[in-house]
Amino acid sequence: MPWRALTLQVEAGAAEAMSEALLEAGAQSVSIDKPGQPSATLCALVDLQLDPDACLRAAARSAGLAATPPYTAAEIADEDWVLSTQAQFAAVEIGERLWIGPNWREPPADRIAVRLDPGLAFGTGTHPTTQLVLRFLERRIRGGEGVLDYGCGSGILAIAAAKLGAARVDGVDVDAQALATARDNARGNGVELQPTLPEGLRDGAYEIVVSNILAQPLILLAPVLAARTARGGTLALAGILESQAAEVGAAYASWLDMSLDSVLDGWALLAGQRR
């Protein structure tokens, strides 16, 4: 059956929220091109019966945009969409050990493979914030650690942590669709993961806690994430523009001395050890 592809541009910082909002408004799939630049191009696949104006208005409102972005629309066939989508999602090699890619690509034999297809939750390994945390995990995990991914989305970080050798891995998200996607992705990767809503998370602290969300939620979550980080353990935060790093780090000063760990395309990763 034919589909309609809606193409629009938003500020890079709003790309993730707009992508998720489009999915909630009825889009079947959303891809993000050049999310690390000042603006990002989103391409949403929608059913021909769906009103594109209504879909975009609802998504823009849900994502907190001041106005509905202008868009172009084109009718495409099933096979054209599959080919164009597969071409967009290249595999990514992280550090010396990890490979992240969709199911239609083959990993090198000497890499730990995490397979995720583009879908209904943020996190396929292409966004700079995701890559920053994956690099952090690839450097830090040596086996046996307890890891918490707070705001797990597709489950990519939790799955990578498990495949790198973490002994106990948990994921948390507030979105039921993200939890379902993370469970499916974990099953597809042969990983034991039962992501949950925040209130369902089991008691205890973790040697490594990661959270790739956005700056303001990370500031509000400071007491929660600090409490979940074991004394002597490490907390890593992403989804933060480099210009926001100092403000986010200051919110954690009562528990950790957060410092700038790495930067990629204007996005920062903060990390610190729990006192």
Query: How many C-beta atoms surround the C-beta of residue 79 within 10 A?
Result: 8
According to the model, what pLDDT value does residue 141 have? 97
Report how far residue 83's alpha carbon sits from residue 97's, in angstroms, rounded to the nearest whole number: 29
According to the model, what pLDDT value does residue 101 have? 82
Parts of the chain belonging to CATH 3.30.70.120: 3-88
Report how far residue 166's alpha carbon sits from residue 267's, in angstroms, rounded to the nearest whole number: 26
Q: Cα torsion at 242, 248, 252, 257 (round to 10°)? A: 20
CA-closest candidate to residue 245, choices 224, 223, 229, 261: 261
Low-confidence ranges of the chain (pLDDT < 70): 1, 34-36, 77-90, 117-126
Under CATH, which architecture does the 3-88 domain have? 2-Layer Sandwich (3.30)
Parts of the chain belonging to CATH 3.40.50.150: 92-273
According to the model, what pLDDT value does residue 8 have? 93
Per residue in 23-44, pLDDT tens?
A: 888 887 787 876 557 888 888 8
* CATH superfamily entry for domain 92-273: Vaccinia Virus protein VP39 (3.40.50.150)
- Whether the Cβ atoms of residue 114 and residue 91 lie closer than 8 Å to each other: no
Per residue in 194-230, pLDDT tens?
A: 899 999 999 999 999 999 988 999 999 999 999 999 9
Give me 20's structure tokens: 């998720």
Report pTM: 0.70
